[in-house]
Structure 1
Amino acid sequence: MSFKNPIPERLKQARKKAKLSQKALGENIGMDESSASPRMNQYERGKHTPDIQTLKLIADELGVPLNYFFCEDESSAELACIISQMTESERNKLIALLNKNKKNKKNN
């Protein structure tokens, strides 16, 4: 079974949603003006993968959580974004609710 790296597609989606060019994104995270566009292009094509520090800078610039880039499907990516915007209290309530639902399904 083949594994497809989710980072390139997630990066492209988030960048387009933020309405930034590859060059602008690269420059905004501190890349040299002359290499920003080519490097971001290589990341989006999957030719190279950014190191975790660069990926964190990209995530912060695009307003998505770091784990968004590792989600293998759309619903998980959307959930990662929603959860990242919740307060700690809201996340704890969600965890409790999901655990309760899981127990109920197990008992039925």
Structure 2
Amino acid sequence: MLSHRLKAARLRANMTQEMLGVLAGIEEETARSRVSQYEGGVHCPTFQLMCSFAKVLNVPESYFYTVDDNFAEMILDLYLKYKNSTI
């Protein structure tokens, strides 16, 4: 998982670390500190938790794992176009 993408997606969604953590299923008491540790690369969340983050942040799971930043943005654009076309 590329930690800087988690932070970028959270900021794009205009969420606090605590809000993201709670919405993804982390206990409120530890949500902010755990998300902070994930964003800082101190700890790596499970794939299941990353799937929860992706759902809350409205991004595909692959966005967090693609190494190339430009390709990750292309994946995100494609995902958003697809989601908007199916609504």
Q: TM-score range by the shorter chain?
A: 0.7 to 0.9
- After TM superposition, the score normalised by the length of structure 2 is 0.87
Q: RMSD across aligned C-alpha pairs, in angstroms?
A: 1.3
Where structure 1 has 5 or more consecutive residues not aligned to the other structure, the ranges are 1-5, 88-108
Write the letter of the residue equivalent to 1:27: V
- After TM superposition, the score normalised by the length of structure 1 is 0.71
Question: Max radius of gyration: which structure?
Answer: 1
Identity among equivalent pairs (%): 35
How many residues get paired? Answer: 82
Q: Which runs of 4+ in 1 moved over 6 A?
A: none
1:14 aligns to 2:9 (yes or no): yes
- Deviation of 1:30 after TM superposition, in Å, equals 1.3
Higher relative contact order (CA 8 A, sep 6+): 2
Instruction: Give CA deviations for 1:36-89 in whole Å, capped at 9, x if unaligned.
Output: 0000000001011110000000001001000000122321111111222355xx
Matches of residues 8-87 of structure 1 in structure 2 within 5 Å? 8-87=3-82
Where structure 2 has 5 or more consecutive residues not aligned to the other structure, the ranges are 83-87
Aligned mates of 1:43, 1:59 — CA distance in 2: 14
